[in-house]
Amino acid sequence: MPIPEHDRRALGWIAVAAAVIGAVYYLSPVLAPFVLAGVPACICQPLILRLDRLGLPRMPSVLRVLGLKFLLIALFASAVLLVALRELRANHLDSPFFKGD
């Protein structure tokens, strides 16, 4: 009994999806840097375009947005570091292994 055309087409798309998922899984160590670079670029692009529309030249627009991005990353990293240090200090004081008896 032959397979209907719409079932063959669906099986073809399932095979293509499986091949793409397999390729992404297999190539994930190579693709990860591109994704990590592409996502911030897509997020920063509207800010750069808005500064361009306001009359600021392209290079200063890019430098300001990149400076803002690095500032936000530094603030986030310092906040995480402060919380981690506070937790480490609290755990250190509560730990029976570090009691100075």
pLDDT digits (tens, 9 = 90+) for 40-53: 889 899 999 999 99
The pLDDT, as a whole number, for residue 100 is 56
Q: What is the arithmetic mean of pLDDT over 78-93?
A: 88
Q: Which two tokens stand for residue 63?
A: 């430098």
The C-alpha atoms of residue 23 and residue 53 are separated, in whole angstroms, by 40
On average, the pLDDT of the chain sits at: 88
Q: Hey, how many other C-beta atoms are within 10 angstroms of the C-beta on 64? A: 14
The C-alpha atoms of residue 98 and residue 93 are separated, in whole angstroms, by 7
Q: Is pLDDT at 57 greater than 90 in this prediction?
A: yes
The pLDDT, as a whole number, for residue 99 is 61
The pLDDT, as a whole number, for residue 79 is 96
CB-based contact 35:26 (threshold 8 Å): no
The pLDDT, as a whole number, for residue 61 is 92
Structure pTM?
0.56
